[in-house]
Amino acid sequence: MNQGPARIEINEVGPRDGLQIEKAMVATDDKVAFVDALSECGFARIEVTSFTSPKAIPALADAQEVMRRIRRKPGVVYTALVPNIRGLERALECGTDEMNLVMSSSETHNRANLRMTREQSLAELTAVLRAAGEAGAPCNVSLSTVFGCPFDGDVSPDEVMRLAHSLVDAGAVGITLCDTTGMAYPTQVAELCERAARELPGAALTVHLHNTRGMALANAVAAWQTGIVRFDAAAGGLGGCPYAPGASGNVNTEELVHMFACMGVDTGVALPPLMDVVRGLPRLVERELANPLIAAGPRLATHEPPAWLAERFSPG
Ligand code: COA
Ligand code: ZN
């Protein structure tokens, strides 16, 4: 098997991608406590919230208060989603470390999610990149639907690369390749990651996967094998875009961390405190979460053998 990097970084996006789609209104105090607990787990970045229109994403209308109140752990980069200049202004006011700008690579999803054409988004984000540059705030851009769009179907990799080049030329320090509704498959992921790394050698590449069709972990391995070192993931497999039909959760952070730990890859994330956070999620989002890893325990959480074995196999 082709080996990927020995060390990777995980960006925990549960507080943003996770909570943006939940029906339960999570209290501001609980959001702050969620982020603070995640800060103790070893993540490189935590996407705390989004500075989107409160009409578009009512669940995160308290973005500024959350960003102001979290306890900043040295070494952790606290990021937030920003769709426009208004969002940048709000994010800067409360000291967001890094901006995660967003647009889609497919036309219909961009219109549904951001109420703009892609060319309007490109112009808006170019202005955001300029203003953020003047303010000294680094910006990553998340390109949605790069592996397929729930409205338009397949998305041309040439089109993805055209947008990525424009955004990097305009000042983005990184590009996130987002599989918004779990349409990606491993060979496709490998091809696009290889192409993006080849064509954008100066940009930090991140992969953002959803497990809508059960392929997220396989896709993560495929990306890792091409040399990708940055992965978005959501604790408990929360997540989904409210403006993408059929959207469901991100790749589970705990499953991703556990898998890479088994493979000897250092993610920086400690599984026990993360599992504690995940156990608290059903209370936070007021619904049960199916979680095979919590149910089974980590791979080497072995069990006592049945008591009768000792008698059956006792010497003499
Ligand atoms: N923060 C807060 N309010 C904002 C805002 C922002 N970033 N951007 C716009 N608004 C407000 C405007 O002030 C205006 O308020 P008003 O009605 O009280 O006057 C209202 O929202 C509409 O503004 P407009 O510029 O016409 O925006 P829009 O309705 O065309 O929506 C976006 C554009 C991008 C703001 C909106 O579609 C959005 O936030 N989308 C994010 C979707 C998302 O996060 N999806 C999941 C992640 S992929
Ligand atoms: Zn997502």
| Domain CATH for 19 | 3.20.20.70
Domains identified in the chain, total number: 1
Structural domain includes residue 2: no
Percent of the chain with pLDDT over 70: 100
pTM of the model: 0.97
Ligand 1 near 47 CB (within 6 A): no
Maximum separation of any 2 CA atoms in the chain, in Å = 82
Is residue 57 within 6 Å of ligand 1 at its C-beta?
yes
Is 149 part of the annotated catalytic residue set?
A: no
Asked if residue 1 is part of any domain, the answer here is: no
Residues 23-37 have pLDDT tens digits of 999 999 999 999 999
How many A from CA of 157 to the centre of ligand 1? 28
Partners of 205 in the β-ladder: 175
Which residue segment(s) compose the domain that 221 sits in? 9-313
Beta-bridged to residue 81, according to DSSP, are 50, 100
Beta carbons of 38 and 277 less than 8 angstroms apart? yes
Q: What is the pLDDT of residues 38-72, one digit of tens each?
A: 999 999 999 999 999 999 999 999 999 999 999 99
- Nearest one of 91, 173, 162, 77 to 129, comparing CA atoms: 173
Closest residue CA from atom 1 of ligand 1: 53
Q: Does the CA dihedral 32-38-40-44 come out positive or negative?
A: negative
Please name the helix (run of DSSP H) or strand (run of DSSP E) that holds residue 48, with its range, or none. strand 45-50
For the CA of 243, the nearest atom of ligand 1: 45
Query: What integer best gives the mean pLDDT of the chain?
Result: 97
The yes-or-no verdict on residue 305 having pLDDT over 90 is yes
Whether 208 is covered by a domain: the verdict is yes
pLDDT at 103: 98
Helix axes 118-135, 157-169, angle to 10 degrees: 30
- Going by CA atoms, what residue is nearest to atom 10 of ligand 1? 53
Per the DSSP assignment, residues forming a β-bridge with 232 are: 11, 208
Q: Which ligand is nearest to the CA of 239?
A: 2
CA distances from 169 to 148, 264, 279 (A): 24, 36, 43
Q: What does 109-166 look like in DSSP terms, one character per residue?
A: HHHHHHSS-HHHHHHHHHHHHHHHHHHT--EEEEEETTT-BTTTBS--HHHHHHHHHH
Residue 4 lies in a domain: no
Judge whether 3 lies within some domain.
no
Give residues whose Cβ lies within 5 Å of ion ligand 2.
17
Share of the chain above pLDDT 90, in %: 98
β-pair partners for 159: none
pLDDT of amino acid 140: 99
Of 51, 55, 116, which is best to mutate to test ligand 1, by the most ligand atoms within 8 angstroms of its C-beta?
A: 55
Tell me the pLDDT band of 231, cut-offs 50, 70 and 90: very high
SS3 214: coil
- Do 131 and 84 touch, CB atoms closer than 8 A? no
pLDDT higher than threshold 80 for residue 251: yes
- Three-state secondary structure call for residue 11: strand
pLDDT of residue 315: 84
| Res. 235: pLDDT tops 80 | yes
Q: What is the mean pLDDT of residues 299-311?
A: 94
CA–CA gap between residue 51 and residue 137 (Å, rounded)? 15
Q: Is 87 in the pocket of ligand 1 (CB under 6 A)?
A: yes
Kindly tell me if the per-residue pLDDT of 283 is higher than 80: yes
Whether 240 is in a domain gets the answer: yes
Q: How far apart are CA 251 and CA 270, in angstroms?
A: 17
Task: Please check whether residue 304 lies inside any domain of the structure.
Answer: yes
In a domain, 235, yes or no: yes
Q: What angle do CA 31, 298, 284 make, to 5 degrees?
A: 20
The per-residue pLDDT for range 191-226, each reduced to its tens digit, is: 999 999 999 999 999 999 999 999 999 999 999 999
Cβ(85)–Cβ(129) below 8 Å: no
Residue 267 CA, ligand 1 centroid: distance in Å: 35
Q: Is the pLDDT at 316 greater than 80, yes or no? A: no
| Ligand 1 geometric centre to CA of 252 (Å) | 29
Nearest ligand to the CA of 244 is: 1
